[in-house]
Amino acid sequence: MLECRYYEKFDSLKVLCVLCPRKCLIKNSYRGYCRSRYNHEGVLYTENEFISSLAIDPIEKKPLFHFFPGSKILSAGASGCNFHCDFCQNWQISQCENKNLIKLSPEDLAEKALDLVSSGNIGVAYTYSEPVIMIEYVLEAAKIIREKGLKNVFVSNGYIEENPLLDLLEYIDAFNIDVKAFSEGSYLKNFSADFNVIKKNLKLINSKVRHLEISCLIVPGINDKIEEGEKFFEWLSEIDQNIPVHINRYYPCYKSNEQATSMKNLMAIKDVAEKYMKFVYVGNI
């Protein structure tokens, strides 16, 4: 275990985690909302030796369509997440603690990535579960990956405070940010989260000239309102019309029995995105 970088100590052995906007105040022997950060006697710890998942994937699977197309990327994830979505597709690792069963230090991950270059690997993607909650691991690995001339990819919900994001921006070459809803009300109601943080972070990532693509899983009742989608894509186009957008179809998963997104709604969201953005792709169909 490693001491976390982004927290403050309080009295009675409590700590305040300032990695993401949830800002959990964590009592001794408890974990934060994401289940990945653990307070042991007034010190906040994170895992830095084990991960939950490892695979080599086509870069398009992240999804990134405009970043080294046709290449492969070694993909690693931890367990836990700072969102608890009812429809999570990776709930076995995201909605639990201690599923980090593969012993692999950041140095070993970088070595593995380098070994795979001859098979078309371009670097490492931090993905599967939410990589924000493994940021110390990511920063350590990403620094080595960068030194070796390889690429770092971050697939995230984008729910992170500004200082840690600025640290990531030093080393991450490409981001895919999962935009889960198109309005403040929907983010608050469905995810207890602040949409303004996501928008601010999208702007910041784009301003640092890092490669950015966004994904939107269209879930009935959460983000299938055309007017809300229109407002969001109009806003996004003012940042940069060239940001590729992935509009994905939802299917029932985990705790959600809601029917799959209708093709009619999916295409209506795609059409409204295309009014403002130049590169719109439909997935999961």
Residues that bind ligand SF4 (CB under 6 A): 17, 19-20, 22-24, 32-34, 37, 82, 133
In whole angstroms, how close is the CB of 119 to ligand SF4 at the nearest point? 34
Environment class of 257 (CB within 10 Å of its CB; exposed 0-12, middle 13-18, buried 19+): exposed
Nearer to ligand SF4, 24 or 142 (CB): 24
Residue of this chain nearest to ligand SF4 (CB atom): 32
Nearer to ligand SF4, 38 or 171 (CB): 38
Cis ω before 21 (30° cut-off from 0): no
| 104 CB neighbour count, 10 Å cutoff | 17
Strand order in the sheet with 25-26: 7-9, 15-17, 25-26
Nearer to ligand SF4, 44 or 217 (CB): 44
Instruction: Give the residue from 195, 270, 187 showing the smallest Cα distance to 226.
Output: 270
In whole angstroms, how close is the CB of 134 to ligand SF4 at the nearest point? 10
In whole angstroms, how close is the CB of 62 to ligand SF4 at the nearest point? 22
Nearer to ligand SF4, 5 or 231 (CB): 5
Nearer to ligand SF4, 159 or 276 (CB): 159
In whole angstroms, how close is the CB of 110 to ligand SF4 at the nearest point? 24
Q: How far apart are CA 228 and CA 147, in angstroms?
A: 42
Nearer to ligand SF4, 96 or 117 (CB): 96
In whole angstroms, how close is the CB of 2 to ligand SF4 at the nearest point? 14
Provide the CA 284 distance to its chain's centre, in angstroms: 18
Non-local (6+) Cβ contacts of 115 within 8 A are none
In whole angstroms, how close is the CB of 19 to ligand SF4 at the nearest point? 4
153 neighbors 125 (Cβ within 8 angstroms)? yes
